[in-house]
Structure 1
Amino acid sequence: MRIWNNCPFTVWPGLLNNPNKALPEGGGFALEKYHTTTFRVPDGWAGRVWARTNCNGAGHCETGDCGNKIQCSGAGGVPPVSLAEFTLDGWQGQDYYDVSLVDGYNLPLAIFPIDGTYKRVGGGKYDCNNAGWQADINAHCPNELAQKNSAGATVACRSACMQFNTDEYCCRGAHNKPETCKSRDWKVNYPAIFKQSCRDAYSYAYDDTSSTFTCHSADGRKTGYVIKVCP
């Protein structure tokens, strides 16, 4: 797996994975602007990757903080944060991957399968294609969802679930199924704001059909992926 920081500033990738699997890079590190780093994950790995911003020497980050430390060591990123999510070597060796805004947004992300490491099966839109987007959602985040820094700049955009904590937006209680978690029950269709900027990203908990990508390895090799920040 490779992480590529295409932002004009340093980011601090964070990693969180399934139990009993190796945690690459201790779960976090600094990555300078326009630099890449590569690491290996074990078979059957599942996890998420995110990019933290404006971390200080003590490890506290303005967005995506994982507990005031550079190596997250098994801690997740504090929302709102954009996520690259993976479940590798699933049913019949199939990988699943997506970009999720269910926990909100801080930076644009994209996932690219690496040429020569995969094969397409079926050739549909979600078969080994790129996931993610380029748009800056902070630029048009509704004021009621905006997370601002001390200078008053919007540095992240909260999800409606995080901001309002209702069963309707969080898809829980009577709304805990795809059939009952519907936009007709939302006072404002906030997930659509995320979806308009990134049509292939998860915008709420049951947004599977337009957000989950799959891929198969080629000739016994494991599919490689690039996670690009600021694509």
Structure 2
Amino acid sequence: MSIILTSFTLSTLILNTFAAHQINVINRCSETVWVGTFGDNQIPAGGGFKLNPGQRQSFSTIDGWTSGRVWGKTGCDSNGNNCVTGNSPPGGRTTLQPVTLAEFGFDKFMGLDFYDLSLVDGFNLPMAIQPFGVNLDQNCKLLRCQFNFNVCPNERNFRQFDSRGRMVACNSGCSAKREDKYCCTGPYYNNRDNCQPTEYSRLFKDQCPDSYSYAYDKKDADWACKGKSAGSSGYEITFCP
């Protein structure tokens, strides 16, 4: 009996120490959004789901979810494929740029969750990320991005249009130009001193100050929260807040 009790107690302690995290996703856009999900150690919610205008859906991630991504796809077919923006293979990490990303890494250093709203790959949908079940402070807060398409550079490969001629997305400097200095690749890779903000990343930063605007953007871009108890931290992602 003592062995069984000890095993039960140990299991309980483990469950209380490491718990799943809830993510709520809300679509407040006037169009259907297909949600994509990905992570290095888990692809939650089967890789994504459909949200009609006004709908919401929740899913859970494992503890320690790494390189987690959530994004919205628009202009998709009835199966959520062949999307105009944010398209990706089922369960695929790679999305067709430009796309607005919510990025997560759970239960990291000192039990912190790290999260950001990334425009490194460009912008396709307004987004907000609201932590809950946490102690809110200056490093753990609501992130919001409302991007004005009119400021998108009127240069080759920046503006993306749908079949009706509506501008539906704006590429970042990296995704539009594919050059090392904009993507922090080649001689700029892993060198924060060499890879500095550009006129394009500054444009995105001016529009959305809380966003991650280029590969080595850290100032006011990388946020961290800690749950009030083990596994209590969660995040609400709203499209078109």
Quick check: TM above 0.5?
A: yes
Deviation at 1:18, TM superposition (A): 1.2
Q: Does 1:170 align with 2:183?
A: yes
Give, in whole Å, the separation in 2 of the partners of 1:32 and 1:217.
30
SS in 2 for 1:208: coil
What is the aligned partner in structure 1 of residue 5 from structure 2? none
Runs of at least 5 residues in structure 1 that lack an aligned partner in the other structure? none
Q: Which of 53, 69, 83 does residue 48 from structure 1 map onto? A: 69
1:26-175 alignment, distance < 5 Å: 26-46=46-66, 47-58=68-79, 59-67=81-89, 72-114=90-132, 117-120=133-136, 123=137, 125-126=138-139, 128-133=140-145, 135-144=146-155, 145-175=158-188
What is the Cα deviation at residue 75 of structure 1? 4.1
d(CA) in 1 for partners of 2:27 and 2:78?
20
Q: Please give the TM-score of this superposition, normalised by the length of structure 2.
A: 0.84
Distance 1:2 1:130 in 2: 14
Q: Which residue of 1 aligns with 2:6?
A: none
* Runs of 4+ off more than 4 Å: none
Letter in 2 for 1:149: D
1:209 Cα deviation (Å)?
Answer: 2.1
Structure 2 residue runs without a partner (length 5+): 1-22
1:26 counterpart SS class: helix
How big is each residue's C-alpha offset from its partner over 1:190-228, in whole Å with a ceiling of 9 and x where there is no partner?
111111110010111111122011000103342011011
Q: CA RMSD in A?
A: 1.5
CA distance 1:139–1:161, change in 2 (3 Å): same
> How far apart are the structure 1 equivalents of 2:121 and 2:171?
7
Q: CA 1:29–1:221 in structure 2 vs 1: closer, same or farther (change >3 Å)?
A: closer
Name 2:196's counterpart in structure 1: 182
Residue pair 1:17, 1:74 contacting (<8 A) in 2 also: no
Q: Alignment identity in percent? A: 39
**Could you list the per-position Cα deviations for residues 130-177 of structure 1 after superposition, in whole angstroms to 9, with x for gaps in the alignment?**
1122x2332321122101122222111011111111111111222221
For 1:104 and 1:166, the matched residues in 2 are separated by 15
Compared CA separation, residues 175 and 76, structure 1 to 2 (3 A) = closer
Aligned counterpart, 1:206: 216
Structure number, greater radius of gyration: 2
